[in-house]
Amino acid sequence: DGGITQSPKYLFRKEGQNVTLSCEQNLNHDAMYWYRQDPGQGLRLIYYSQIVNDFQKGDIAEGYSVSREKKESFPLTVTSAQKNPTAFYLCASSKPGLVIDEQFFGPGTRLTVL
Amino acid sequence: GNSVTQMEGPVTLSEEAFLTINCTYTATGYPSLFWYVQYPGEGLQLLLKATKADDKGSNKGFEATYRKETTSFHLEKGSVQVSDSAVYFCALPWRRYSSASKIIFGSGTRLSIRP
């Protein structure tokens, strides 16, 4: 079955450490996205990528970095510069050419900074 | 600019009650509209969608009608079940890049159903 996988499901980090969240998709989608979700709030876009080796900042990119070396993979690094990293992180993908522009989501990674 | 405003939660109902979650939007042109659902501890799933005015999206007993005159896309279900307990997001795709889309999400409405 096609879909999006994120790992790990839960991640704990000490302050001052960088951590990388994995996102893999086998839907053959060109575009991929990272969102942050805080309790009781909607989703905020961190980064997105339209094609391999290209990515753009979203609304809250500070303290985060990404890479897109393969079509299937879009890892997110939460750096020590991110002041409040504890949140639920969601990866998504979409296929170009769809009129409706639906995005498909992974199951999420919950990051807690200790 | 484009925006989505949805009813604040939490909403608590008894099983078999009628559900309405309000959503209004501000947008230039005539965008598509979505409702996504997020079950506890999971990612978002597309629940239903409408692509033009007067369209009705429906899925799993939920319905929403795209009303241009009131700029609304309210979510309804005639008889809710405990399994419908989740967070519901109204969403508006508004800017399309060459191969990526941007979606504006509402703040989400948490729904809890009592047995």
What does the DSSP assignment read for B9-44? S-EEEETT--EEE-EEEE-SS---EEEEEE-TTS-E
Give the pLDDT confidence score for residue B98 in this predicted structure. 61
- Mean pLDDT highest for which of A99-103, B92-96, B109-113? B109-113
Q: Tell me whether the omega of the peptide bond preceding residue B40 falls within 30 degrees of 0, making it cis.
A: no
Whether residue A80 has pLDDT greater than 60: yes
Whether residue A83 has pLDDT greater than 90: no
Chain A residues near residue B110 by CB distance under 8 angstroms: 40
Amino acid in the structure at residue A37: Q
Q: Which of A4, A31, A92 sits opposite B99 (nearest CB)?
A: A31
Q: How confident is the model at residue A97 (pLDDT cuts 50, 70, 90)?
A: low
Instruction: Say if residues B7 and B24 touch (Cβ distance below 8 Å).
Output: no
Average pLDDT of the segment spanning B31-38 = 94
**Cα–Cα distance measured from residue A7 to residue A88, given in angstroms and rounded to the nearest whole number:** 12
Whether residue A98 has pLDDT greater than 60: no
Instruction: Say if residues B71 and B25 touch (Cβ distance below 8 Å).
Output: yes
Distances (CA, A) of A3 to B45, B66, B114: 12, 29, 32
| A14-71 pLDDT per residue, tens | 988 999 999 999 999 989 999 999 987 789 999 999 889 999 999 999 999 999 999 9
Q: Give A17 to chain B, closest Cα distance, Å.
A: 25
Q: Give A85 to chain B, closest Cα distance, Å.
A: 18
Please give the span between the terminal C-alpha atoms of chain B, in angstroms, as a whole number.
Answer: 41
**Cα–Cα distance measured from residue A46 to residue A57, given in angstroms and rounded to the nearest whole number:** 6
Is there a contact between B43 and A107 if contact means CB atoms under 8 Å apart?
yes
Q: Mean pLDDT lowest for which of A73-82, A86-95, B15-24, B89-98?
A: B89-98
Per residue in A83-111, is it b (16+ CB within 10 Å) or e — as a string? eebebbbbbbbbbbeeebbbbbbbbbbeb
Amino acid in the structure at residue A4: I
| B44-78 pLDDT per residue, tens | 999 999 988 999 999 999 999 999 999 999 999 99
Is there a contact between A49 and B89 if contact means CB atoms under 8 Å apart?
no
Give the pLDDT confidence score for residue A101 in this predicted structure. 72
